[in-house]
Structure 1
Amino acid sequence: MTSLEQLGITIPIVQAQMAGVSTPDLAAAVSNAGGLGSIGVGATDAAGARAMIRATRARTDRPFNVNVFVHAKAKANAARERQWLQALEPLFAEYGSAPPGTLREIYTSFADDAAMLAMLVEEAPPVVSFHFGVPAPDRIAALKAVGCTLIASATSLNEARQIEAAGIDVIVAQGWEAGGHRGIFDPTLADDRLGTIALVRLIGALSSIPVIAAGGIMDGAGIRAALALGAIAAQLGTAFIACPESSADEAYRLALGGEGARHTVMIDAISGRPARCLRNRFTAWAATNRLAAPDYPIAYDAGKALNAAAKAAGESGFGAQWAGQGAPLFRAMPASDLVATLWQEAGRLA
């Protein structure tokens, strides 16, 4: 079986999971077009994830990917969280609101979520992927036992080796250029910030399992380059944000065409973990704020509250407008048309 057959796809294009932006409609459209569509369920519970899986299945009989977050449990720090809320207070006040009194750990890691594991075993989606780390061996074994192909993201050779040792089938090499949350396993450690080209080559040369390239890829030329580097497929996220099937709001879509898309920023202020975002009001505030953000996802509780307050007052610049460095190359078209266009472009360069 070839690597693409293992994933059940005919076109080497993977739509990134993009929790909060990907939808069953988007994932199904990509899968029906021959690529691998994805839904991100890291921001919902087992019941919500089951509903998304079943909605995707109702729209496609092709394989699709279900992505979960495997982050370390947040370490609460009341003093740091209080300082953080105090620092944000003037921003809330600007929009006639006040920060929450306390912050919560709003998402449960798959590492600790027995209900999510049980649901995935019951539903047995064709592909399951992991971000921020790898789960315990018993969880991997349970998913493999029901036939799931497993993928995990790596930002370094060391993380790739951990993924390979865990028995996972495919590695996503996530370069520094990538939009959204950086998949680094331990954000307290130094980050070598390897770009997509170097990372794909390193992992491809020094690992024995297939590699998918991710980070800054927006068109057929990028896909062809990824394949030439030895990747079995290219993963694109930002390229699909403007598709009508995504759940990105109008402000997010407009921002993709604005000046902020030319100056994406890697920050941890929105969620508590490094993530690449369009330059906006939140990134400008983060550039001058010197406080350490609370742990992920505790900080996200404040970030979401601030965005809600600002949006209610007509300001869209505090959203989690994740995007990669290639953002200005986006094209707004139906997802199936985008997959066909991308592959036609790549074919012309072969």
Structure 2
Amino acid sequence: MSLLNTLGIKHPILLAPMAGVSTPELAAEVSNQGGFGSLGLGASSVNVAHKQILRTQELTDQPFQVNFFCHESSALNSEVSQKWIELFADKLKEFGADVPTTLNCIYPSFKDNDDFLNLVLETKPKAVSFHFGTPHAHQIQALKNAEIITLVSATNLAEAKAIEAAGIDIIIAQGIEAGGHRGIFNETFDAAITTSDLVQLIKKNCTLPVIAAGGIMNGHQAKQFLKLGADAVQLGTAFVQCKTSSANDAYRKALFDQPLTQITASISGRPARGIINHWHKEIDTPNRPAVPAYPYTYDLGKQLHAAASKNNDYGYGAFWAGANVSEIRELEATDLINQLILEMQF
């Protein structure tokens, strides 16, 4: 069975599940146009995630995926966190914000308990995808029993093989060009393989369907990945500018005005590619102190961005974007899907 038949879609185009940016409206528009919509729910509470899934199901009767984080939760290192807080204390005060005394774990992992699993089993979306690793064996089995398709991001061959061995259905080959968080299982190691090389490497050594993700902005690029063996492509940055995404005005403006990206772990505690701003220019210096574990670092990052934004300084935003963001086009989701399909034909 082809991947299109497996997912129940008309076109080999998936919307990347972007936590904090994706919306039910955007997911539904992509799915209604024959692609595979998505909800990035890794930063959501169970209650909010539930509402978003139900809202998407109201807007479309077509299949879509939901996405969660599968990071290994870790305890906060108080010494590391205090040094990190001290680094930003003066800046927080300058923006009129309180300096935190500690950092909080703002995002739970899908693996921490079965609350998100039970939500998926209750609402039954077509598929569920995971970032930063694979779920527990009993969680994967429960999803299989419910006939819910599973996908996991791989950034190197070892991760792809681990995904296959775990019984996951589909591999998302996330190249180094991809915007947002790197899906690396081990946050201290990133093979940094390009999307084209990764797709070929996984197709040669694994048997599962492979979705190419990273640096894809138009149908011509998508077609090239399909020629390399990818079964479908996944795009995120291209859709951030759509009116139905929840990106704020500063984020949208940066996509078109500042289209240069770099990877940093300073914003969240995990490496992620975004538009170059204060984090990359001022914080990522050679003598930068150690970064606290994910997602504790993100707690401070969000506090600093919120305080700075109130002072009309948007340089501390997490404006995630792929390496080819300069090729972004101002199109709504329906028109963008149609344009991609047209370009893939030539």
TM tier, smaller: over 0.9
Mapped partners of 1:70, 1:102: distance in 2: 24
Query: What CA deviation, in whole Å up to 9, does each residue of 1:280-308 have, x standing for no partner?
Result: 12222222251111000000000000000
Does residue 13 (structure 1) correspond to residue 13 (structure 2)? The answer is yes
SS of aligned partner of 1:110: coil
SS of aligned partner of 1:130: strand
Does residue 293 (structure 1) correspond to residue 300 (structure 2)? The answer is no
2:128 equivalent in structure 1? 128
Does residue 281 (structure 1) correspond to residue 278 (structure 2)? The answer is yes
Does residue 82 (structure 1) correspond to residue 82 (structure 2)? The answer is yes
CA RMSD of aligned residues (A): 1.0
SS of aligned partner of 1:112: coil
SS of aligned partner of 1:212: strand
| Alignment TM-score, normalising by the size of structure 2 | 0.98
Number of paired residues?
345
2:263 equivalent in structure 1? 266
Within 5 Å, give how 1:65-144 maps onto structure 2.
65-144=65-144
Give the letter aligned to residue 225 of structure 1. Q
**1:154, distance to aligned residue in structure 2 (A):** 0.1
1:335 equivalent in structure 2? 333
**1:90, distance to aligned residue in structure 2 (A):** 2.3
For the Cα contact (< 8 Å) 2:176–2:195, is it kept in 1?
yes
Within 5 Å, give how 1:183-198 maps onto structure 2.
183-188=183-188, 190-198=189-197
For the Cα contact (< 8 Å) 2:305–2:317, is it kept in 1?
yes
Mapped partners of 1:93, 1:346: distance in 2: 51
Q: Report sequence identity in percent.
A: 48
Within 5 Å, give how 1:1-350 maps onto structure 2.
1-188=1-188, 190-259=189-258, 261=259, 263-288=260-285, 290-348=288-346
**1:331, distance to aligned residue in structure 2 (A):** 1.1
Query: What CA deviation, in whole Å up to 9, does each residue of 1:297-344 have, x standing for no partner?
Result: 000000000000001111111111000001011112210110000110
For the Cα contact (< 8 Å) 1:74–1:297, is it kept in 2?
no
For the Cα contact (< 8 Å) 1:74–1:298, is it kept in 2?
no
For the Cα contact (< 8 Å) 1:99–1:305, is it kept in 2?
no
Mapped partners of 1:287, 1:68: distance in 2: 28
Gaps in structure 2 of 5+ consecutive residues: none
Query: What CA deviation, in whole Å up to 9, does each residue of 1:39-76 have, x standing for no partner?
Result: 01100121111111001000000000100000000231
Mapped partners of 2:267, 2:74: distance in 1: 15
Give the letter aligned to residue 199 of structure 1. L
**1:93, distance to aligned residue in structure 2 (A):** 2.5
SS of aligned partner of 1:302: helix
Give the letter aligned to residue 277 of structure 2. N
For the Cα contact (< 8 Å) 1:125–1:148, is it kept in 2?
yes
**1:267, distance to aligned residue in structure 2 (A):** 0.3
**1:145, distance to aligned residue in structure 2 (A):** 1.1
Mapped partners of 1:65, 1:44: distance in 2: 15
Give the letter aligned to residue 67 of structure 1. N
Mapped partners of 1:60, 1:51: distance in 2: 14
| Alignment TM-score, normalising by the size of structure 1 | 0.97
Mapped partners of 1:55, 1:229: distance in 2: 36
User: Which has the higher mean CA deviation after the structures are superposed, 52-61 or 110-119?
Assistant: 110-119
Gaps in structure 1 of 5+ consecutive residues: none
